[in-house]
Structure 1
Amino acid sequence: MDFGLVLQTDPPASRVVELMKRAEDRGFTYGWTFDSAVLWQEPFVIYSQILARTERLIVGPMVTNPGTRTWEVTASTFATLNDMFGNRTVCGIGRGDSAMRVAGRKPNTLARIQQAMEVIRDLAEGREADLGESRIRIPWIKDGSLPVWMAAYGPKALAMTGAKADGFILQLADLYLTEWMVKTVKDAAVEAGRDPSEVTICVAAPAYVTEDDSPEALAHAREQCRWFGGMVGNHVADLVSKYGESSDAVPEELTDYIKARQGYDYAHHGRSGNPDTAFVPDEIVDRFCLIGPAQAHIEKLSRLRDLGVDQFALYDMHDAKESTIDAYGSTVIPAVNA
């Protein structure tokens, strides 16, 4: 199983670069960041510094979207990094929850995401692509490679991921939901005439390693990770508005917990102590995240691997960034990949 580190690009950028370098030194192979232009610093500028300071780390956004950047610029940016550092990027793409809403726009439609995935990948790999009003090719790209992984929760998005994307990003680590969604994606791949093993499966969630499993330690870890249930809840709320509170299309195990949700202020997005996530119960934190002593992480990750997960991407937005990276490097990663 591969392991990735996910960070927000808060200033100073040097801090992001240092943590990514630390992660590579500890055995992580992917470095991901949020991409929301108003809330955080520009990730692609920082990627160049991460790539320059590391040797093997593959970097990319978790996730970009097709609405805040023109597609040819996105493709050219990835291709430039690949030309400089040797095909070490991956494009995570989604609807643009925070990036679009903070800018006063609605998240992108699935149709737009599908078109953007195809155009960005073709252009970044040196092929001609249709921009709508013209067909173009970036002439200087040679031997380009850009896997495009799609973030999804709902049935139509999962089906499109299986049919069109190179990878699937699932932003939660619940075992039941992971099994259900991975099966949905792989079934869609088969239906589209693809080999389902060609779709890389990436589970992304916060991880917090405690010294023991005392009630006090677990309670602190939960408070540090509760923000994640609120972030996921934004997407779940969209699904509920589309499919209803009770639907065969979306499992209740995903939708039930947002009934007490009152709203969301993106000023606290992705941060521990987010006041808009008080509605998230401890059960959801335990299901969606990985908390507890290292052995608890090893056991859950082993079960995720058995469900077909190829990568675990660790959201490291809490008060134990370095110690979590170090615990994964010294104990968790070696044990899972023994």
Structure 2
Amino acid sequence: MEFGLVLQTDPPAAGVVALMRRAERLGFSHGWTFDSVVLWQEPFVIHSQILAATERLVVGPMVTNPGTRAWEVTASTFATLNEMFGNRTICGIGRGDSAQRVAGRRPHGLASLGRAIDAIRDLAEGREAVVDGTPLRLGWVRDGRLPVWMAAYGPKALALAGRSADGFILQLADVDVTEWMVRAVRKAAADAGRDPARITVCVAAPGYVTADDSPAALAHAREQCRWFGGMVGNHVADLVARYGTDPALVPPELTAYVEGRRGYDYTHHGRADNPEVAFVPDGIVDRFCLIGPPAAHVAKLRRLRAAGVDQFALYAMHDARESVVEEYGAHVIPAFARP
């Protein structure tokens, strides 16, 4: 199993770069950032500095979307970074939640997302793509490579990921839900004539390492990670609105807790102090996140690996982000090192 670090691009940008550099030294293979330019700083500018400050780290957004930038701009940005730093970028992409909604726009439909996946990858790798009816090609690209991993929850999105993406990003660490969704993605890949085993599976969620498993330590960890249940609740609410509560279409583990959800203010998006997540019960925090001493993280990650997960991307948005990154480097990542 590989490990990624996910950060928001809060100023100062130098702090993001420094923590990514430290993560590489501690054994993380990927550095991810949020991509909502109204809420945080422009990520691709910071990606260039992360790549310059590291040697092996693969860097990209978790996740971009088809609407914030023109597709040829997104592709050219990736291709330029790859030319400068040697094919060390990766494109995480989704319909657009915070980036679109905070600007008063709706997330993109899956048809548009599917076309964007193909066009961005083709352009960044030097092939021709049709964008808005016009054939385009970045003629200066040589030997470009851009894996595109798609974030998805619902059945149609999971099917698109299986048909079109190089990887699947699931933003929660519930083992049962992970198994359900990995099966759906791999079935879609097989139905499309693709090798399901070639689709990389990435689970992304907060991790909070405690000194022990005392009630006080776990309670503090839950409060620092409860925001994540609110963020995931946005996606679950979309699923329930579209598909209802049919367990064949939406895992029942996802639907029950959003009944108490009452709106969402994106100015608090991804923040540990989000005041609008009281509806998220402790049980959901425990299921969706990783909390407890290092041994508890290792045990849950082993279950996720058995469910088909290839990478765990650690969200570090809480009051202990530096120490948790250090704990993962010292005690969690070594447990998954190849002999």
**TM above 0.5:** yes
Query: Does residue 183 of the first structure (1) align with residue 179 of the second (2)?
Result: no
SS at match of 1:275: coil
Residue in structure 1 matched with residue 19 of structure 2 by the alignment: 19
Q: Distance in 1 between matches of 2:116 and 2:335?
A: 39
Contact 1:301 1:336 survives alignment (8 Å):
no
Q: Distance in 2 between matches of 1:78 and 1:304?
A: 30
Which is further off, 219-228 or 244-253? 244-253
Percent of paired sites with the same residue: 72
TM-score norm. by structure 1 comes to 0.99
Matches within 5 A, 1:82-101: 82-101=82-101
SS at match of 1:188: helix
Q: How many residues align?
A: 338
Q: Deviations over 1:158-185 (max 9, x none)?
A: 0110111000000000010000000110
Q: Distance in 2 between matches of 1:316 and 1:32?
A: 11
Q: Distance in 2 between matches of 1:71 and 1:192?
A: 25
Query: Does residue 219 of the first structure (1) align with residue 244 of the second (2)?
Result: no
Residue in structure 1 matched with residue 125 of structure 2 by the alignment: 125
Residue in structure 1 matched with residue 48 of structure 2 by the alignment: 48
* Post-superposition offset of 1:245: 3.3
Q: Distance in 1 between matches of 2:133 and 2:151?
A: 28
Matches within 5 A, 1:1-338: 1-337=1-337
Q: Distance in 1 between matches of 2:131 and 2:66?
A: 12
Contact 1:26 1:329 survives alignment (8 Å):
yes
* Post-superposition offset of 1:244: 1.4
Q: Deviations over 1:61-98 (max 9, x none)?
A: 00000011000000000000000000000000001100
Moved over 6 A (4+): none
Q: Distance in 1 between matches of 2:19 and 2:142?
A: 31
SS at match of 2:6: strand
SS at match of 2:204: strand
Q: Deviations over 1:185-230 (max 9, x none)?
A: 0011100000001100000000000000000000000000000000
Gaps of 5+ in 1: none
Q: Distance in 1 between matches of 2:88 and 2:260?
A: 42
Q: Distance in 2 between matches of 1:190 and 1:140?
A: 35
Which is further off, 249-258 or 281-290? 249-258
Q: Distance in 2 between matches of 1:269 and 1:31?
A: 20
**What is the letter of the counterpart of residue 162 of structure 2?**
G
**What is the letter of the counterpart of residue 137 of structure 1?**
R
SS at match of 1:59: strand
Q: Distance in 2 between matches of 1:132 and 1:285?
A: 42
Q: Distance in 2 between matches of 1:262 and 1:322?
A: 32
* Post-superposition offset of 1:132: 2.9
TM-score norm. by structure 2 comes to 0.99
SS at match of 1:202: strand
Q: Deviations over 1:41-78 (max 9, x none)?
A: 00000000000000000000000000110000000000
